Amino acid sequence: MITAGRLMERLAVDGLLSAEEEAGPLLADVRSPDPGRGLSDRLLRRGLVTEYQAEALLGETDDRLVLGDYVLLRRLCRGSTCEVFNARRRTTGQLVALKVLSAVPPPSSLRIRRFEREVEVTFRVRHPNVIAACDAGEADGLPYLATEYVDGSDLAQHVAVNGPLSVSRAVDFVVQAARGLSHAHDLGVIHRDIKPSNLLIGDAANGKFAVKVADFGLAGVAPGKSTSTESDVLVPGTTMGTADYMPPEQIADVSQADRRSDVYGLGARSGFCSPVARCMGGRSMRCCEPIRTGRCRAFTSCGTMSRTNWIEPFSKQSGSGHKTGCRRWTK
């Protein structure tokens, strides 16, 4: 059980509150058999700390409150190798999404190189429909990347809450995402993991949602366009991506993915957010077989669209072929 005095001390050390000016008066009013929790509850009710911070203060988790110049407000998501927080930068007050490599287990040299590639790519791709990089560095031995914070949800959450999109809204979302991807492709960057959770939907302003492509953690870069090569960040023959939105050629080897793979992922995403069934029904690689054979409900619902136009990578070409990529979708 943490004491109120110890909690106040941690608040002061982390610079979240002045123990004397803020927590002290609150402590005087605490009447509880557990003063530490009583103080934490009062701070939470008054909006002086977030739920994430309150739990960390009580020692109920091993979570940190501060990383370098950033005060962590809440955890947005946690993966096997990294975490993303909503954070506030002390020096500017700016709210950001802060992606941090996890300390446990310690990141491998390969994972660190991938993260460095992600930082490089995110700073390079500047577009209204791509999440903007704000800052990057290392604090307490942990590499981090700060990007703009989108006050809204990702596409998966948006559909879960609001249901399938109307055709006009689905088209609008696709076109916005395609614009961002087209710009990335022009810079020699392939996303390689287009899926609903990597498309962020900003809250509507004047009835217009803003779609931003996020998370370049699996991005590929054309030769000569990066300080690192594919061999620096990939193990040959590696399968990386999300099965529901991954083209068959990427399953065998992620290095085979090119801009057409992003187009495929965008098309699969379109099926996700419309009443039409998703192309695949599971998250394992075996669920790709219905796509290869054409026994997929999405294709029977698409009428005039040829299965070959979706599946075979080289059949997507016409005229300038794959070089046009997502640009066709934006016209």
Q: Which residues are catalytic?
A: 193
88 DSSP β-pair partners? 71, 95
- Number of Cβ within a 10 Å radius of residue 40: 26
Give the C-alpha separation, 277 to 282, whole Å: 12
N residues, the chain: 331
The strand order across the sheet containing 95-101 reads 66-67, 70-78, 82-89, 95-101, 142-148, 133-139
Transcribe 18-63 into DSSP letters. Answer: -IIIIIHHHHHT---SSHHHHHHHHHHHTTSS-HHHHHHHTTSS--
> What is the C-alpha separation between 266 and 264, in angstroms, rounded?
5
Q: E strands of the chain, at which residues?
A: 66-67, 70-78, 82-89, 95-101, 133-139, 142-148, 152-154, 189-190, 199-205, 208-213, 220-221
**φ/ψ (deg, to 5) at 282:** -145, -170
